[in-house]
C-alpha cells in the first residue's frame, strides 16, 4: 500500500464548506461526505486535527453597528456549532473524535489543552478545534496557523468553497484569471491576494508552515493531497 506523504496535518474547514449550496447554516449531506474522506485519511494513520470556521453563521467583521468584540465572540460560538455537527458526522461512521474549545464550555467539549490534543492525535482520534483562538480580532485561518505551530503539524490543508486554488484575480469575475501552482507567503502579502488574512499568512511565514489551498467541492481531494498528489496551490517560503 502507498504511504501517505504526511503524518500530522491541520485541515481548515471554513463555515461555508459545511453549508453546501445554501451558503448558510449546515448541509448534513455535505458534512457527511467530508467526514467520509476524513475517515479515509484517519484509516491511513494520518493524524488529523481540524479547525472549523464559522462564517456560515456569523462573521465578526461584517457587523456594522455591533461592538466588534461582542460580534467576534458570536462568530466563535458559530464555530462550536460547526464543530459539534462535524463530530456527530464523524462518530456516526465510527471515527473517534474529541472537540476542544478555546473558550471553556465544559458541558459541551474539552477545553483546549495542547498536550491533551497531541495525545488524542497519537491515539488516532480526530481532534476538532472550536471557538477559534478564543480571542476577538482573529480569524480561524490564524487559529489554524497557531494550532499547526503548537502541535507541530507538517502542513495546513486550507479547504476552499467555490475555488480550487489561488488565482491572480477573482476567477468568478475574470474568466482569464490564472491559477498559481506555487506561491510564496510574501507574494500573498505583497499582491494582497485574498487567500487568508495577513495575520494568518505572517504566522505561517514566520513558522515555516506550508499551506495547500484546494477546493472542497471534491472532498476526495483531501485524500489525494495526503497521498502526495499536486492539487490546488502550495504556499511556502
Ligand atoms: N473569530 C474570532 N477569533 C478567532 C477566530 C474566529 O473572533 O480566533 C470570530 C470572527 O468574528 C470570525 C468568526 O469567528 O469572523 C468566524 O470565523 P471565520 O470568519 O474565520 O470563519 P470562516 O470564514 O473560516 O468560516
162 belongs to an annotated ligand binding site? no
pLDDT(82) > 70: yes
Mutual orientation of helices 68-92 and 28-43 as an angle, nearest 10°? 70
What average pLDDT does the segment 147-169 reach?
96
pLDDT band at residue 1 using 50, 70 and 90 as cut-offs: low
Ligand 1 center–CA 233 separation, angstroms: 23
pLDDT(68) > 90: yes
Bridge partners of 214?
A: 159
Ligand 1 atom at minimum distance from 62 CA: 15
pLDDT band at residue 143 using 50, 70 and 90 as cut-offs: very high
Residue linked to cell 480561524: 140
Nine cell digits for residue 138: 482573529
54 belongs to an annotated ligand binding site? yes
Size of the chain, expressed as the number of residues it contains: 237
pLDDT band at residue 218 using 50, 70 and 90 as cut-offs: very high
Query: Taking a C-beta distance cutoff of 8 angstroms, is the pair 34, 14 a contact?
Result: no
Ligand 1 center–CA 44 separation, angstroms: 30
13 belongs to an annotated ligand binding site? yes
Nine cell digits for residue 64: 456594522
| Domains defined for the chain, CATH in brackets | 8-236 (3.40.1160.10)
Q: How far apart are CA 218 and CA 8, in angstroms?
A: 21
Share of the chain above pLDDT 70, in %: 100
**Residue 179, SS3 per DSSP:** strand
Ligand 1 center–CA 33 separation, angstroms: 23
Share of the chain above pLDDT 90, in %: 92
Pocket probe for ligand 1: among 54, 73, 138, 196, the residue whose CB has the most ligand atoms within 8 Å is 54
Amino acid at each position: 500500500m502507498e504511504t501517505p506523504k504526511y503524518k500530522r496535518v491541520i485541515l481548515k474547514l471554513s463555515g461555508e464548506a459545511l453549508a453546501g449550496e445554501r451558503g448558510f447554516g449546515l448541509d448534513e449531506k455535505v458534512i457527511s461526505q467530508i467526514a467520509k474522506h476524513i475517515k479515509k485519511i484517519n484509516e491511513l494513520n494520518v493524524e488529523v486535527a481540524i479547525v472549523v470556521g464559522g462564517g456560515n453563521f456569523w462573521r465578526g467583521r461584517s457587523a456594522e453597528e455591533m461592538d466588534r468584540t461582542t460580534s467576534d465572540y458570536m462568530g466563535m460560538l458559530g464555530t462550536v456549532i460547526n464543530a459539534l455537527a462535524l463530530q456527530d458526522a464523524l462518530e456516526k461512521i465510527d471515527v473517534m473524535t474529541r472537540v476542544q474549545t478555546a473558550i471553556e464550555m465544559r458541558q459541551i467539549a474539552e477545553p483546549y489543552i495542547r498536550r491533551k490534543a497531541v495525545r488524542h492525535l497519537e491515539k488516532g482520534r480526530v481532534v476538532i478545534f472550536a471557538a477559534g483562538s478564543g480571542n476577538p480580532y482573529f480569524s480561524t485561518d490564524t487559529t489554524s496557523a497557531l494550532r499547526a505551530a503548537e502541535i507541530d503539524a507538517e502542513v495546513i490543508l486550507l479547504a476552499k468553497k467555490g475555488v480550487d486554488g489561488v488565482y491572480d484575480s477573482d476567477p468568478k469575475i475574470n474568466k482569464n484569471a490564472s491559477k498559481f501552482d506555487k506561491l510564496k507567503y510574501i507574494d500573498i502579502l505583497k499582491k494582497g491576494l485574498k487567500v487568508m488574512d495577513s495575520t494568518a499568512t505572517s504566522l505561517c511565514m514566520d513558522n515555516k508552515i506550508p499551506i495547500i489551498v484546494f477546493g472542497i467541492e471534491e472532498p476526495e481531494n483531501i485524500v489525494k493531497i495526503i497521498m502526495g498528489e499536486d492539487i490546488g496551490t502550495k504556499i511556502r517560503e
